[in-house]
Amino acid sequence: MKESDFQTLKVDQRRMMETLHHTCSFGTGHRWGQAATETGMKRLALSDSDKKVRDWFVDTTKSLGCEITIDKMGNIFAVRPGRRQDVAPIFVGSHLDTQPTGGRYDGILGILAGVETLKVLQDANVETEYPIGVVNWTNEEGARFPMTMVSSGVWAEAISLEAAHGLKEVGGTRATLLSELKRQGYLGETPASYRATPMSAHFELHIEQGPILEMEKQKIGVVNGVQAYKWYTIEVEGRAAHTGTTPYGARADALLGAARMIAHSNKKGHELSALASTGILTLEPGSTNTIANKVSFSLDIRAPDNSTVEAMEAQLKKDFTALAGEEPVPLSVIWRTDSNSPAVKFHKDCIDIVRQSADAVLGNSSLHRDMTSGAGHDSVYTSRHCPTTMIFVPSKNGVSHHPEEWTSDEDCALGAEVLCQSVIRYDRKLAGATS
């Protein structure tokens, strides 16, 4: 197949979007608009609606000539044979599970664009050199079983199968990830490991989940890597006291201290070019007329490189201690590191090929840009064991993990087209290298 040939391959925007919205009938969520498709999604991993969309995925890819492999994490690998069967497939991957108040694009678009790619290849009778696969990773969101990207993590041998299987459903029922895999019939025989289901590459199309492409009027983000992040819980302890009878000079007000720390972390984030955010804050005892003796808050620090995250941590540890000491009665501050995700650099070959594909599809290099992913994705784990990159499309208002998450049909199709072309170009590149 010559380059001039495969450049004529086009995804069918209408078919892809209709199929996407069809699959969103499994686990329809909160309605926010009048149109049929104007609802969010609530399709928690291994729920009954997740089983339905999994069954749909298996049936559809089988009908497109794929062989199905299901591993012990319920990851579903659908592989369309290539000319050669002695090599690992080139995969498109993402996830079909959603947040409890999620939207119709996060993860879902990546899988649907993969299925559309299979259809494009089928319609044009294209025989690739390498097998082409689509993988649906289980429980990427971590919303039901509280570990994000857990199944690509097991595949990468970064997380143990036992720990993953033992994850308990959030909210206190007895269900575990393993019990739900069994109940839904998605506990496969194949070991969950890159050794059992190797990949020649992993491409993931995803919505940006941020406002940058939209703000800069660009269509495609060529993702060079994922920023580093560390999560902390900060515990500030003071002393409960009556708000009416305790003068300022006798107070150890844990909430006032925490408020100053949160405001300060934002200020330092601007100075050091890092993102610092607090999304959780709890306190004790929680009474209008009692000064809080204990506040616990989350701190999420992100930057494109690890050293900036470390510098922020060191600075804030110093500054929080100073702020705590400045209160009339000193507060105590304890830091706990909850997670540490170093910066990820994606593979140059994959990045180059996505950039070329974006150029070809958009016909204008000002409509795409290189960028760093702000969030983690399954591609973080696949990148440990195969060349990987991601393709971003604009998110309206940067909204994600929300029913109103939205990307236009045109932008979804442009992303799918870049994905499809990237897979074929990568196949040709490998064929050239090995032929």
Please, which residue, 144 or 425, has the CB nearer to its own copies? 144
Q: Does 146 bind its own copies (CB under 8 A)?
A: no
Annotate 339-365 with b (16+ C-beta within 10 A) or e (fewer). Answer: eebebbebbeebbbbbbebbbbbbeee
Site for its own copies contains 314 (CB under 8 A): no
Task: Count the site residues for its own copies by CB under 8 A.
Answer: 60
Cα 48 to Cα 51, 100, 373: the distances in Å are: 5, 14, 31
Strands 344-345 and 228-237, by their bridges, are: unpaired
Of positions 4, 125, 288, 435, contacts its own copies by CB under 8 A: 288
Among 35, 86, 174, 286, binds its own copies (CB under 8 A): 286
Q: Is 399 in the site for its own copies (CB under 8 A)?
A: yes
Question: Is 258 a binder of its own copies (CB under 8 A)?
Answer: yes
Decide whether 115 or 255 has the Cβ nearer to its own copies: 255
Q: Is 287 a residue that touches its own copies (CB under 8 A)?
A: yes
Which are the contacts of 390, defined by CB distance < 8 A and separation ≥ 6?
203, 204, 205, 206, 223, 346, 373, 377, 379
411 scored as a contact of its own copies (CB under 8 A) = no
Interacting residue with its own copies among 262, 272, 362, 367 (CB under 8 A): 262
| CB 323, CB 257: distance < 8 Å | yes
Q: What is the four-CA torsion angle of 417, 421, 426, 431, rounded to 10 degrees?
A: 150
Q: How far is the CB of 395 from its own copies (least distance, A)?
A: 8
> Measured between alpha carbons, how far is 104 from 49 in angstroms, rounded to an integer?
14
For the bound state, the minimum distance from the C-beta of residue 142 to its own copies, rounded and expressed in Å, comes to 10
Please report whether residue 373 would count as binding its own copies according to CB under 8 A: yes
- Token pair 């696949």: residue: 382
Work out how close the CB of 5 gets to its own copies at its nearest, in angstroms, rounded to a whole number: 37
Tokens for 169, please give them.
């459903």
Tell me the per-residue interface mask from 85 to 114 with its own copies, x by CB under 8 A, - otherwise: ----------------x-------------
Residue 292 makes contact with its own copies by CB under 8 A: yes
| Gap between the Cα atoms of 221 and 212, Å rounded | 9
Distance CA 110, CA 134 (A): 9
Smallest gap, in angstroms, from Cβ of residue 272 to its own copies?
A: 12
- Residue 203 pairs in a beta bridge with 92, 389
Binding status of residue 306 toward its own copies by CB under 8 A: no
Q: Which of 375, 384, 396, 409 binds its own copies (CB under 8 A)?
A: 375
Among 270, 318, 336, 348, which residue interacts with its own copies (rule: CB under 8 A)? 270
Inter-residue contact 407 to 101 (CB < 8 Å): no
Which stretch, 39-47, 73-81, 181-189, 292-300, contacts its own copies (CB under 8 A)? 292-300
Interface segment toward its own copies; rule CB under 8 A; list 14-22, 75-83, 122-130, 203-211: 203-211
**Residue 81 makes contact with its own copies by CB under 8 A:** no
**How many other C-beta atoms are found inside a 10 Å radius of the C-beta of residue 172?**
7
CB hemisphere CA count around 91 (13 angstroms): 30
Pick 98 or 227: Cβ nearer its own copies: 227
Member of 34, 217, 248, 432 binding its own copies (CB under 8 A): 248
Q: Distance (Å, rounded) from C-alpha 119 to C-alpha 115?
A: 6
